[in-house]
A = this chain, B = another copy of it.
Amino acid sequence: MQFAGSHILSVTQFERADVERIFAVADRMQPYAHRERVTKVLDGAILGSMFFEPSTRTRVSFGSAFNLLGGEVRETTGFENSAIAKGESLYDTARVLSGYSDVIAMRHPAEGSVAEFAAASRVPVINGGDGANEHPSQALLDLYTIKKELAGRGRGIDQLRIAMVGDLRYGRTVHSLCKLLCLFKGVQVVLVSPQELCMPPAIVEELREAGHDVMTSEVLEASIAHVDIVYSTRIQEERFSSQQEADLYRGRFRLNQSIYTQHCEPNTVIMHPLPRDSRDTARELDDDLNDNPNLAIFRQTDNGVLVRMALFALVLDVVEQVDAHARDVNWYTAGRF
């Protein structure tokens, strides 16, 4: 695809080469995100950060990514946007707000709303999550993490062996990740969930049509024995009709250091889209894994900054200028990464 001036709305808009291009640019962002170098390539540019649904980590990650490229951020959070309450169409909102910035990152509770907004926007829009629908930068950072974690192990995304564990029905991130995996070859996917929270059949079908090997299971231990990645997820309580129903599933699949040692191959990578539920009744990833160097969950969120920097640099077409506007960091940064 042509990135300059494009909206980033869905993982389905990418071909394999696009994903690889994003990852290559993300790699080049590392010195800036890791505070070795400062770039001002977007000095004077403005990000409109429109989070009509609350989010701390995604919102701040987008904002920091833009700051790391030298740009400014103008932020709107929640539905203080009473204009919509006064009957304003999403078309009008988009026409107006896109006059205030050079690019927009947007989250909205209604499925499809970000695409509708983008259609009327005069500047590129990056989807930061539209309800249960899409959250493409999350899927990209997950896949980018897989690639980086496995690189040191001599393995790649082709021929990947991955177990996805937990709430595969409501977990938006595993859906999008599966779609991205369809761009690659020979992947083995083990889907571990209660029957009632299984991966939607349409997505399983897509994986199989891509030539991937899909297994399903309700047992954690055997399922994680021969994989490169265990991708654990939280029970999405807020999507259930009652707390009692959520309680049925919470804590069903718990990975801790002892199970890891006993069942996993050495250096199996542990991922999670976060937040992980650390309450006693949940603990899908136990705190005793925090010292396990294969726990990649915080490298995942760090990678989110790299991927979002890459998306901004691509849609604003400044990739080749980043290094030319750079200098060394001049403040204390020891021990950060």
What residues on B are CB-neighbors of A72 within 8 Å? Answer: 67, 72-73
Q: Could you give, for residues 106-147 of chain A, a 1 whenever the CB lies within 8 Å of some chain B CB and a 0 otherwise?
A: 000000000000000011000000000000000000000000
Known pairs A5-B334, A38-B44, A42-B331; A61 contacts B274 (CB<8 A): no
* Complex Cα spacing A99 to B282, Å: 25
Instruction: Check A99–B48 contact: CB distance below 8 A.
Output: no
Number of identical protomers: 3
A323 adjacent to chain B (CB < 8 Å): no
A152 adjacent to chain B (CB < 8 Å): no
Instruction: Check A332–B317 contact: CB distance below 8 A.
Output: yes
Residue among A82, A318, A331 with most chain B CB within 10 A = A331
A185 adjacent to chain B (CB < 8 Å): no
Which one of B87, B238, B331 contacts A318 once the chains associate, using CB atoms below 8 Å? B331
Q: Could you give, for residues 76-100 of chain A, a 1 whenever the CB lies within 8 Å of some chain B CB and a 0 otherwise?
A: 1110111110111101110111011
* Complex Cα spacing A237 to B87, Å: 11
Instruction: Check B316–A86 contact: CB distance below 8 A.
Output: no
Known pairs A77-B80, A330-B318; A305 contacts B100 (CB<8 A): yes
A262 adjacent to chain B (CB < 8 Å): no
What residues on B are CB-neighbors of A67 within 8 Å? Answer: 46, 72, 74
Q: Could you give, for residues 55-66 of chain A, a 1 whenever the CB lies within 8 Å of some chain B CB and a 0 otherwise?
A: 111011101100
Instruction: Check A234–B99 contact: CB distance below 8 A.
Output: no
A41 adjacent to chain B (CB < 8 Å): yes
| Closest B residue, CB atoms, query A72 | B67
Instruction: Check B234–A86 contact: CB distance below 8 A.
Output: yes
Interface size class of A (residues with CB under 8 A): 35 or more
Instruction: Check B287–A97 contact: CB distance below 8 A.
Output: no
* Complex Cα spacing A68 to B43, Å: 10
What residues on B are CB-neighbors of A302 within 8 Å? Answer: 99
Contacts beyond the supplied A54-B82, A88-B276, A315-B332: 20 A-B pairs with Cβ under 8 Å: A40-B43, A46-B67, A46-B68, A56-B82, A57-B96, A60-B74, A63-B74, A72-B72, A72-B73, A86-B234, A86-B277, A87-B276, A88-B277, A89-B278, A91-B290, A92-B278, A93-B275, A96-B298, A96-B301, A318-B330
